[in-house]
Amino acid sequence: MKKALLAGAALGLLMSTSAYADIIIATAGPMTGQYASFGEQMKTGAEQAVADINAAGGINGEMLKLEVGDDACDPKQAVAVANQFAGEGVVFVAGHFCSGSSIPASAVYADEGIVEISPASTNPKFTDERPGPGIYRVCGRDDQQGAFAGQYLMDNFADKKIAFINDKTAYGKGLADETQAAYEKAGGKPALVESYTAGEKDYSALVSKLKAEGINVLYIGGYHTEAGLMARQAKEQGMDLQIISGDALVTDEYWAITGDAGEGTLMTFSPDPTQYESAKKVVDALQAAGKTTEGYVLYTYAAIQAWADAVKAAGSTDFDAVTKALDEGTFSTVLGDLSFDDKGDVSLPGYVMYEWHEGKYSQM
């Protein structure tokens, strides 16, 4: 159904039932599969946000109800999840995680009049080519991340042989391409450029090629599972390899895969929001409950905060009114005050470098 029809149906529902019916929202990401740790981060952040909002009286007198969708970072499954949400009357989605899922799902949301704010999808196409209003993100973009990483490589490893590899996904290839472009613009010349297949368990042939080429620094455009295996298998082959990657390594599972082979791995991510005063109350509550605050937990929480405040400002969940509020407002969140530009990108600080040390990552 188109958004006008959805708005009419929602109005009819409100007129025929209690004015205090639940508002159905959702989060969607890889709840199963090899990237499920990120889905768990999103689910944790979404559940905490919904609990906190409901405990404070809900939104405009109505309580939130959370649905959780599993797209397994698969584009077709993401579209199926998006259509399922539309059928369930979901008005807002904090998701998806993988850019390759968010981009096709956004077409469904735009058509159905559902607001989507991704906490994690960094591919520029997600907002540059968004299919309509109502599509946003509270994370940065790969061209920002790549520009920072490429210059960092040039500034710190100009005398080293650097290889760029990617997993051929919208996220992994996009990030590696942006980083390589920035490195070359700064005067660098890649020693090797390769692609690999995600989901495999043995990357020893790739590692052997890196060793034969005398590679000192490996930039990986991809996820923590494959990067972790490469780090471990490089160490097994006796390589002293500096690994650098992006924000898809912000999970403790990376170290669970690498063990000591992950020591010194570098990765780009936004400034650590767990250190913000604006996040302290939520971080304390999550830690007291024994829940993680890593990675995209707070980004998912912030996505829901921004949408909730827009609904309050709009006085309803009407799609046009909420997107107008999102386009024009500034929102106080766990990530600090944020707003969105005319493409749906967020006005937050860019990227910094993190280092893995003794099983934990921290901002350098």
Tens digits of residue pLDDT in 188-200 = 999 999 999 999 9
**Phi, psi values for residue 43, rounded to 5°:** -60, -40
pTM as predicted: 0.89
Measure the CA–CA gap between 220 and 44, rounded to whole angstroms. Answer: 27
Q: How far separated are the first and last CA of the chain, in Å rounded?
A: 48
In the structure, what pLDDT confidence band is assigned to residue 349 with cuts at 50, 70 and 90?
Answer: confident
3-state secondary structure 255-310: HHHHHHHHCCCEEEECCCHHHCHHHHHHHHHHHHCCCCCCCCHHHHHHHHHHHHHH
Cα torsion 68, 227, 141, 37 to 10°: value is 20
115-118 vs 64-70, strand pairing mode: unpaired
Indicate if the pLDDT at residue 19 is higher than 80. Answer: no
Structure-token pair, residue 351? 């990227």
Determine the pLDDT at residue 264: 98
Buried/exposed 53-64: b ≥16 CB within 10 Å, e otherwise: bbeeebbeebeb
Indicate if the pLDDT at residue 10 is higher than 90. Answer: no
* Percent of the chain at pLDDT exceeding 70: 95
Indicate if the pLDDT at residue 280 is higher than 50. Answer: yes
Q: How far is CA 305 from the centre of its chain?
A: 16
Which tens digit of pLDDT belongs to each residue from 99-157?
Answer: 999 999 999 999 999 999 999 999 999 999 999 999 999 999 999 999 999 999 999 99
Measure the CA–CA gap between 91 and 323, rounded to whole angstroms. Answer: 12
Average pLDDT over residues 316-344: 98
Domains located in the chain, CATH noted: 3-140+275-338 (3.40.50.2300), 143-269 (3.40.50.2300)
Determine the pLDDT at residue 12: 34
